[in-house]
Amino acid sequence: MEHRGFILIADITGYTAYLSGSELEHAQGTLTDLLELLVEHTRSPLVVAQLEGDAVMSYALEAGLVSGQTFLESVEETYVAFRRAIGLMVLNNTCGCNACVNVKSLDLKFFIHFGAFVLQRIGGINQLLGTDVNLIHRLLKNSVTAETGIRAYVLCTEAAIEALGLDTTIQEMVDHQETVPDFGQVTVWIRDMHPVYEARRDDELVTYSPDEVLITVSTEISMPPELVWDYLNQSEFRNLLSGDDRQEILDRQSGRIGEGSTYRCYHGKMIIPQLVLEWKPFERVLLRQQMPFPGRPTQILIDFRLTPTEEGTKLDQTVTRPTGTLLKRSLARAMIKMRADRTHRDMREFRDRIQDDLSAHEPMPESSIPIPIEQITLAAAASLHKEK
């Protein structure tokens, strides 16, 4: 049966060169750790299909289950985690062998395409077959680094850009032409991942003390954090948590919501702005809301946090004590506490609505990697040594 969906390959950059000058046992251990990280960070709706030497291939059968922004954020979070893992390996290295010394030379590339493919079960593994699968594999060997100097990147085909709805995001990408055997001239879009990591490497959390907390409400949701995150940032469902009639989003960055963006929340004729102070995909959104009082601003913080659990995700919403004059603080506290019961109901309604919405989608198949990663990576390393 033919499916249409996304195909993603996360490919470790420089592994062949790294392996050629390294001790096989330690190099294979490094590859195992990095492949395990890539598998662990393959988030819904993506499903791991197979390991391909020093790469992980995954797929998603349905476009539109998550937004294009969430899809890209998932890729970016994987890259940041990969770079941090490399940094820890370098920092904790007590071995002087080439494999351990040269691990800092490794990097990561992502290839994203949308098209048709067949899932064929071979030896417990879902093999992807089809012309579009051939195309994305052909794109692994390209001229991107030679022509642009970009070593770590996300490469999206035009079909992927269209399916993800990323037309407004491509302004932060570089268009590039590749001549691909049997496919001719192919237009792709390149996102340099080094600036993404540099912007995230020194992340600092905005904090507040327990004494500043006014209320916290929580709920358990039977879906993974990446899907809860996506629903949390869709106006249709986000309105349930804030009781808004509607919302507008201002100050997007390259078409994306992030730190510095503002939600304009409409309650009848009243408009309440919420400024995004912190945007940590799949973990936290921190907002500074201005209360609807005239004169000097009276503000609160609204903190949404997502925590993975065995059942899915725990979603917490914390509201801090308001700032401002004594009178306005008292009025704001009274308003928030009067809405406390409604806030609990809103949280439960949000949970029920998104779980119902997800159940309307066709469930994704389970990923299948029946062979231990260590065996696969050892075989891959030995194969690469033979090619040398």
Closest Cα to residue 257, out of 197, 168, 195, 190? Answer: 168
Closest Cα to residue 31, out of 59, 55, 58? Answer: 55
**What is the pLDDT averaged over residues 172-191?**
92
* Distance in angstroms (rounded) separating the CA atoms of residues 163 and 170: 13
User: pLDDT at position 277, please?
Assistant: 93
Q: What are phi and psi of 32, to 5 degrees?
A: -60, -50
Do strands 184-192 and 213-221 pair parallel, antiparallel, or not at all (unpaired)?
unpaired
**What is the pLDDT averaged over residues 261-283?**
90
* Distance in angstroms (rounded) separating the CA atoms of residues 88 and 93: 8
- Pairwise pLDDT comparison (16 vs 259), residue with the higher score: 259
Using the predicted structure, report yes or no on whether residue 201 has a pLDDT greater than 90: no
Bridge partners (DSSP) of residue 157 are 188
Please state at what angle helix 68-91 crosses helix 24-40, rounded to 10 degrees. Answer: 150
User: pLDDT at position 124, please?
Assistant: 66
List, for residues 251-265, the tens digit of each pLDDT value: 988 788 999 999 998
- Pairwise pLDDT comparison (365 vs 386), residue with the higher score: 365
Closest Cα to residue 112, out of 42, 65, 159? Answer: 159
Bridge partners (DSSP) of residue 218 are 316
Using the predicted structure, report yes or no on whether residue 383 has a pLDDT greater than 90: no
Residue 387 pLDDT level (bands cut at 50, 70, 90):
very low
Half-sphere exposure of residue 191, counting CA atoms within 13 Å on the CB side?
23
List, for residues 211-222, the tens digit of each pLDDT value: 999 999 999 999
**What is the pLDDT averaged over residues 293-320?**
90
Instruction: Please report, as a single letter, which amino acid is at residue 162.
Output: E
Bridge partners (DSSP) of residue 184 are 180
What one-character DSSP code corresponds to residue 139? T
**Alpha helices (runs of H) in the chain, residue ranges in sequence order:** 15-20, 24-40, 68-91, 98-101, 131-138, 144-148, 158-164, 194-200, 225-232, 235-242, 326-338, 340-359, 373-387
Mean pLDDT for all residues in the chain = 85
List, for residues 44-68, the tens digit of each pLDDT value: 889 898 888 889 999 998 766 788 8
User: pLDDT at position 378, please?
Assistant: 52
User: pLDDT at position 376, please?
Assistant: 52
Range of weakest confidence among 188-192, 296-300, 377-381:
377-381
Range of weakest confidence among 111-120, 192-201, 305-314, 378-387:
378-387
Nearest-5° angle of CA 78, CA 162, CA 167? 85
Using the predicted structure, report yes or no on whether residue 385 has a pLDDT greater than 80: no
Assign 3-state DSSP to the chain and report helix, strand, coil percentages, each to 5: 40, 30, 30
DSSP notation for 100-129? HHGGGG-EEEEEEEEEEEEEEEETTEEEEE
Nearest-5° angle of CA 221, CA 223, CA 201? 100
Are 225 and 306 within 8 A, CB to CB?
Answer: yes
Give percent of the chain above pLDDT 90. 46
Domains annotated on the chain, with CATH: 2-200+365-387 (3.30.70.1230), 210-338 (3.30.530.20)
User: pLDDT at position 170, please?
Assistant: 67
User: pLDDT at position 377, please?
Assistant: 53
